[in-house]
Structure 1
Amino acid sequence: MNTDPPAVFRTEVLCQRVDALDSAVDLNAWQTSKDPAGTLDGLRDRVAVCVDVAPDGAHVSLVAAAETDGHIRLEVVEAWDSTDAARRELPELLERIKPRAAAWYPSGPAAALGPLLRSLGAIELTGQKVTEACQGLADLVATGRIVHPGDPLLDQHIGGASKYYVGDGWRFARRGAG
């Protein structure tokens, strides 16, 4: 006998509002993984970063990740209110952080920063790498391997990600897209 996923059951049977029916990330596991006391400060020598841009270009974020004690800690390093502001500040910030790797998604809105990110040697996440990154993050959250400070921006990004099915896998789609 098949049962509905919890979000569908809550919506259809209990008439409750849920944040997402097909959330890409287990939101209960995400909430459980909050660790506001932790920090990446002692892990700067092994941090990787990723740049993302909102569909309207009105928001740019730089998120860092590093492994510590068998977990991967995520933190928002910086958020800008425009691609222009990010374009001005990102090179100096990356020089200061000196991440082991920087990545971005060239097939999305971050393409607006493409020439800059390429000049900085950032890794382009395309094709299967996008699917691996998205499904990998969701799996790490579900298995309790992610920790994060509970930053509202990061919570909003995770909560707004739904699944966009591609072949046998899926990648993230922003709420209302895909």
Structure 2
Amino acid sequence: MTIEKTPLEGCFLIKPKVFKDNRGLFFESYNQQVFQGKVGFAPNFVQDNQALSKYGSVRGLHLQKGEFAQAKLVRAIQGEILDVVVDVRPGSTTFGQVYCVVLSGENNYQLYIPRGFAHGYSTLSEKAIFAYKCDNFYAKHAESGIIYNDTTLAIDWGIPAAEMIISDKDKILPTFEAFKTTL
């Protein structure tokens, strides 16, 4: 597997070596020793989550704050998603910057997202199965986020606005400017 730095400090794109033959394919999706050898640390993942979304679904931008912050290792098992992260770590050299990457069941890429990032994704295919590992347990009271259509961040989700499916909860998240006042 190759592990590449993204433009955001501490965020890495992981590309597995895929072995294909007439039976199908095989790849190692995570190896703690390889990860640590390439980036210098190894997260202790404690929770796995999975979601099924249909085309046009936009989820995010979400994060947990304080002692409940989570690093994540995310991927699309089936279908295609546009994964979006925003560095919201005060003092970070990439604070407020956005990174987007297509993750799919075809490319098998994964994105390591450090603690202190807002995260979201849009479903580009008819449906997608999205899975991720977390290094901290979910805590409802620590939830936070930024509204998906924030004009400062100007994220292109790859979905026409009229076709976006947004949860009521995500429609009322604060703007990036309002979010910054909570840091």
Q: When the two structures are superposed, what TM-score results if normalisation uses the length of structure 2? A: 0.32
Q: Which has the larger radius of gyration?
A: 1
Higher strand share: 2
